[in-house]
Each structure stands twice: as structure tokens, then as C-alpha cells.
Amino acid sequence: MGMIKRIKKEIEIIKERDPAIHSAMEVLLYPSFKVMLHYRFAHKLYGKGHYFLARWVSQRAARKTGIEIHPGAQIGDGLFIDHGNGVIIGETTIIGNNVTLYQGVTLGGTGKEHGKRHPTIEDNVMISAGAKVLGSFRVGENSKIGAGSVVLEEVPPNCTVVGVPGRIVKRDNESIPRETMDQIHLPDPIKDEMQSMQEKIEQLQSRLDKLEKK
């Protein structure tokens, strides 16, 4: 894809997914737009073996935007990084198409692997603010990672993961439309467990009261 087409596509992606953007000119100020242009250039340099120049370009982008993308990462079309400060994408990360990342997301390694050390994020995945995905496994297409979650193992397609460590709390065979992929309407397994415990305590208290009356 030519540079002009690439720039137009990046502008359309941001305008489509961020309601705060009202004009194409505003996109030019957007950190996600800047970092993706730098990444595409750095990735080409990296692929040609110009590793120092590639890292120099990527580090300049990191200083300007607060988003660090290693030039060796493989990123498909339609990546959207909302706000983006603190986002880190490691060298062997693979990201599919139409993926959304929020601020503070880390796609990193555990420090124990060699070779492929970072996750593979498949198409249409949303990773919410502050989530950490660590290791060389897959996050299946159409999945959602809740804010602040720490994901350490593979996530099948069409799943919702929350918690530390991350747990699958929803799984079905239906695709998740992009327009429903918000960070708020996620299951809360801890709240559900506490509610279940409260109900059991009330049942036990009721039985105890009956026994005392006898």
C-alpha cells in the first residue's frame, strides 16, 4: 500500500472509532496516527536489517507519543490505539486486523521465553485500559480483555477475560460486533461470587434462627 493510501486509511480508522475527532486535521495531532506512521517506516527498516535506524525511529516515536512499538512487531490493518499513553508492543508480537488497544496496555513477554516471546492478537480483539498480555500465546478473534486484567495463557475466540490472573468469564460461538466492544459492560466474577456467598450466609442465618426458636 502506498504512503498516501496508508495515511488516508489511518485517518479513516481514527475518525471511525473516536467520537471526539471532528475533522481530519485533528487526526494529525493524534498519538495513534503519529506512532503508526513511524512504526510502518521503522518496520520496513527492520525488515531490511537496518536495526539501529529502525530502533532510532521507533524510540523517537515513543518519546513523542508515549506509545512504544518495537519495529519487529507485525501489525495488520486497522489497529486503533485510543489515547495510548503507556502502550507497549514487544518485538515478536503479531497483531491481526481491526484490533483496539487502550492506554496502558502491554503486549509483552514473561522473560523466560526465547524466539517468539510475545502474544499473537487475532482479528477484532479489544484490550482495555491497563491490561497486560504476557507470553507467546494467542488471544482468539473477537475476544475482549477487561481493564487491568493480566492474561498469562491462551484465550479462545469469542471470549471475555477479566481479573488477575485473567479468567474467561464469557464464551460463546457468536462474533462480537465492533460497536459493542466497550470497556464497561463486562462480567464481574468477584461480585457474582460475593453475592452467592451473601445468599448462602442469609440462608444459614435463617436456619440458625429457626433452630434457636425451637
**Domain locations along the chain:** 3-213
Local structure of residue 106 (DSSP, 8 states): E
| Local confidence band at 24 (pLDDT 50, 70, 90 cut-offs) | confident
- 144 contacts 125 by C-beta, under 8 angstroms: yes
Kind and range of the H or E run holding 213: helix 189-213
Domain 3-213 has CATH 2.160.10.10: yes
As a whole number of angstroms, the distance between CA 130 and CA 54 comes to 27
- Give pLDDT tens digits for 121-171: 999 999 999 999 999 999 999 999 999 999 999 999 999 999 888 888 887
Of 180, 125, 175, 186, nearest to 155 by C-alpha is: 125
Report the phi/psi class of residue 43: left, alpha or beta, with left for phi > 0 and alpha for psi in -120 to 50.
alpha
- Give pLDDT tens digits for 32-86: 888 988 999 999 999 999 999 999 999 999 999 999 999 999 999 889 898 888 9
Please identify which residue in the block is written with the cell numbers 494467542. 138
Quote the pTM value: 0.74
Local structure of residue 40 (DSSP, 8 states): H
For residue 3, give the amino acid letter. Answer: M
Which pLDDT score is estimated for 95? 95
* Residue 139: strand, helix, or coil: strand
Examine the pLDDT at 13 and tell me if it is beyond 70.
Answer: yes
